[in-house]
Structure 1
Amino acid sequence: MTFPVTAESPTSLLGIPLIAADEPIIRSGRTGKIERNAALTLLRRTKQGVAECYVLEMLEKSRNGIEIHTGQGFNVGKPCYGYIAEKIKHPVPAKRAQGKHKTKLTPDPIRWRTVPQIFDLRLKDVLSYRAIAGYLNQDLETWPPPQPVDPERAVGRWTPGAVREILVNPKYTGFMVWNRRATKDKRHPGKNNPKDQWVISGVPTHPARVNVAPSAPRRNSWQDA
């Protein structure tokens, strides 16, 4: 068991020793206080380095796995507007035996035609996000609004932000995309990552709703619509 140096230093300044479960307690014969030992300190730092290496290795393997997952066209999280999740048997036999599955994007029969309408209003009619939302809100039965994961957050109509979210989402080109937003930034959760950090499948993996040049989407890159 090891402790990060960031947790160890403040306790030391307060005179509180931090001892791992597998470390012996050595007390001063003169004062009876717990003393630091050079050999044990070296051993602790070695263990801390090994532990950090394991953490980085797990993060690297996890990211590599998600990149492969994305390249194969599997979706992460809630499907974007206009799509629903199609369950696919898990490719790993052990996980498949546990009943686990992956999902790909397939057209939502109710909301499928709304997406190209939004792109037409933006690109052909050059309407603002607010104007597009106003147009769609005139007939919510034909153009049903998005449904958030939390039903209590549903506003029951189109908003400029909801329109923008569709227009800037590259998944509508048929390519699977991951890492568009930061998920571990505590100060700015959900902020947009630079486009060179995106992971994009090399080929289309699901039905597209907008047309793009074949050379436009590339791995870790994206051209603005």
Structure 2
Amino acid sequence: MATQSKPYTQKNNLAVCYLRVSTKKQKDKGNSIDVQREYANKYCEENNLQIIKYFEETKSASKTQIEEFDYSSNLYDSLKDRPELKEIMKMAKLKKFSHLIIFSRDRLARNFELFVALRFFFEKCGVKIHYTKQGENLLSENERLCKLFELILGSIAELESSLISSRVKSGLVQSIKNKNWVSYHTPYGYVLKSNGSKGKTLKPSNIQKEYVKEIFNLYNNHGYSYKKIAKELNKKDKHGHHWTEDKIERIIKNETYIGYIVWNRRSKTNNKNIIRSPIIEGANIITDQDWHISKKLRYVKSKAKDPKYYNTPFLLRDKLICGHCNTFMKPKNYGKDKYGNERPSVYKCETKDGRQSHFIVKQTIIENIFVEEFSKILNSDIVNNLYNRYCEVINKKLQDVNSQLNDLDGEIHEIKSKLSKLEEMISNETFKDLIEILDTEKRELNNELNILCEFKSKLEYKEDMLNQQIREFCNVGKKEKLIDKIKNSINKFIKVDFPQLETTQKRIIIDMLIDSVIIKKDNSKNGSIESMEIIFKAPINDL
């Protein structure tokens, strides 16, 4: 905030005053704006300087991290959260004043590199910097000695800042280890709950956590991009939340959803500065498996550096290996011939026999063989494992739903209790303005109650469906018949459903299960396939 002082005629005596506090503690310690202004006025009066403008800066630089100065960056960009200082710099470039009045060096910058850069800038603009705090100025006519003294004091200011930062970080680490949430903003999907007398910790929000689960489901199991997930949720979300690509990405990359607080997770120093709390009971929204799948998908996409990695029409791209020379076979689309007819797409080995590839196979042929071989691998033992795994998952889902319903009942009971008290207060109140305030709170609580009741109905329906599935499928007496049904379903999926899936979904299934497919040609049969070996990423019987 800038305030104007009286105009002055002698330009070489014109000064501006920069007043800055960044914390309440500084105000309490006697470094308030008023104190700095008083020191500035006294100093200028004693040194025959005329202040033409006061600039007040009150935002904390430590919170905005603006003093991470890089000489390769623009000086103005480093001061993006100090608009008053930037305004002073603009005036300095226009030669509107000759003196800058500041309380102390650390009010200009705590970071040593930034301090030197600012000092050089003002010196180049012909502006002399004056400090009004006692002990900040050296009474010497030796210019080199004065500059050396100033640089020493500037480095001391940075050391003090580093010590403060170190103490703050130490406190944060201890608080996080105690499972306390230390940030102002709670991650989407959570509310804060009391963690005894120590602070507050994370608790999943009954409604929001369903959206988090859906986001990971669409990303992991359907191959949706961040943009496509946002578009899908904006169609479904009836609670007024606007989803964007950036919001989806932040959720997908947030490790907190597996049940512990992760601090400084955006650190670019190989995770050295990341702090993790112990696991918080009941705080996980997704499973460890969900997280690792999403992490792997992100890694594969970034490694491939190809946005169409999962959208390629070649199902075995980066999977098909020539069994003769052990190199990947490249997919090739030849387009149309001179008559406008589509040429068949192929996979070709880059090892050449003369001028041509020694192994070329049509895409349709090799992919059809792959589907047949994949179907054969799914034997009875695997189906047994799949059946047992299915029953485990269904029972776990039912437990989660029951737990959610119990939590919801508690929240609904609490809101109804508040509404009952509000009704009593409104009926006994005679002051009109207060009645309006109570009515507003009542409407908000009723709206929240309706949302929770609607969500409870959906959960109760889900509970009924899960119980029905357990009765029908997880029944020991019906296991043998059910396994036969599963085998038939798998065969149907491979032969009927799989070909009808979107390309993205097919690629994700193949990429998650299969490491490579090794083929050899039969030279005695005009280059047809002699053998195919499917290498899975994990032992197939562990499925």
Shorter-chain TM-score: which interval? 0.5 to 0.7
2:191 aligned residue (53, 71, 84):
84
Contact kept, 8 Å, 1:179 with 1:197, in 2: the verdict is no
User: 1:134 Cα shift?
Assistant: 4.3
> 1:95 is matched with which residue?
none
Q: What SS is found at the alignment partner of 2:131?
A: coil
Q: Tell me if 1:224 matches 2:330.
A: no
Classify 1:78/1:202 alpha carbon distance in 2 versus 1 (closer, same or farther; 3 Å): closer
Q: Which residue pairs with 1:178 in the alignment?
A: 263
- In structure 2, how many angstroms separate the alpha carbons of the residues matched to 1:84 and 1:112? 10
Q: RCO higher in 1 or 2 (8 Å CA, sep ≥ 6)?
A: 1
Secondary structure in 2 aligned to 1:106? Answer: strand
TM-score after normalising by structure 1: 0.61
What is the aligned counterpart of 1:210 among 278, 281, 286? 286
Amino acid at match of 1:124: N
Q: Conserved in 2, the CA contact under 8 Å of 1:72 and 1:201?
A: no
Question: Per the alignment, do residues 198 and 175 of structure 1 end up closer, same or farther by CA in structure 2, a change over 3 Å counting?
Answer: farther
Q: TM-score, normalised by structure 2?
A: 0.28
Q: How does 1:152-163 map to 2 (within 5 A)?
A: 155=242, 158-163=243-248
User: Hey, what's the Cα distance between the residues in 2 that align with 1:160 and 1:5?
Assistant: 40
Greater strand proportion: 2
Is there any run of 5+ residues in structure 1 with no aligned partner, and where? 27-34, 92-101, 147-154, 182-191, 218-222
Q: Once the 2 structures are TM-superposed, how far is the Cα of residue 119 of structure 1 from its aligned partner?
A: 1.7
Deviations 1:103-149 (A, max 9, x none): 321111222222222222222233333443444344324xx464xxx
What residue is the counterpart of 2:274 in the other structure?
199
SS at match of 2:185: coil
Cα distance in 2 between the residues matched to 1:14 and 1:134: 52
Equivalent AA in structure 2 for residue 125 of structure 1: H
Deviation string, structure 1 residues 77-106 (Cα, Å, up to 9, x no partner):
322221112245664xxxxxxxxxx43211
Whether the aligned pair in 1 keeps the contact of 2:264 and 2:274 (CA below 8 Å) is yes
| Contact residue 264 and residue 275 of structure 2 kept, 8 A | no
| Local SS of the residue matching 1:105 | strand
SS in 2 for 1:209: coil
Equivalent runs, 1:64-83 vs 2, <5 Å:
64-75=170-181, 76-83=183-190
Give aligned pairs, total. Answer: 178
The amino acid across from 1:208 in the alignment is N
Contact 1:173–1:209 at 8 Å: present in 2 too? yes
Partner Cα distance (1:178, 1:200) in 2: 5
Match of 1:124 among 212, 221, 224: 221
C-alpha change, 1:204 and 1:129, in structure 2 (3 Å) is same
1:50 aligned partner: 156
Q: Is the 8 A contact 1:177 1:198 kept in 2?
A: no
Match of 2:119 in 1: 8
Can you list the C-alpha shifts for 1:42-84, whole angstroms capped at 9, x where unaligned?
A: 5444433322211111122222322333333222132222111
Distance 1:211 1:166, change over 3 A: same
Q: Deviations over 1:21-49 (max 9, x none)?
A: 333656xxxxxxxx335665554444333
The one of 55, 62, 85 aligned to 2:168? 62
Structure ranking higher in helix proportion: 2
Aligned to 2:522: none
Residue of structure 1 equivalent to 2:201: 104
Distance 1:103 1:65 in 2: 15
Alpha carbons of 1:73 and 1:16: their partners in 2 closer, same or farther (altered >3 Å)?
A: same
SS in 2 for 1:113: helix
Answer yes or no: is the 8 Å Cα contact 1:67–1:199 preserved in 2: no
Amino acid at match of 1:18: I
CA contact (8 A) 2:193 2:203 kept: yes
- 1:140 is matched with 237
Cα gap change, 1:126 to 1:10, in 2 (>3 Å): closer
Matched, 1:113 2:210: yes
Amino acid in the other structure paired with 1:224: K
Partners of 1:40 and 1:133 lie apart in 2 by 59
* Amino acid in structure 1 at the alignment position of 2:295: D
Deviation at 1:211, TM superposition (A): 1.5
Identity of aligned residues (%): 20
Unaligned residue ranges in structure 2 (runs of 5+):
1-103, 107-114, 297-543
Please report how far the alpha carbon of residue 168 of structure 1 lies from its aligned counterpart in structure 2 after TM superposition: 1.6
Shift in alpha-carbon separation, 1:195–1:105, aligned structure 2, 3 A: farther
Residues 180 and 14 (structure 1 numbering): CA distance in 2 closer, same or farther, change over 3 Å?
A: same
**Partner Cα distance (2:262, 2:131) in 1:** 43
Paired with 2:288 and 2:151, the residues of 1 have a C-alpha distance of 53
**Aligned counterparts of 2:246 and 2:127: Cα–Cα separation in 1:** 51
Where does residue 503 of structure 2 map in the other structure? Answer: none
Q: Is the 8 A contact 2:262 2:277 kept in 1?
A: no
SS at match of 2:236: coil
Q: C-alpha distance in 1, partners of 2:269/2:138?
A: 48
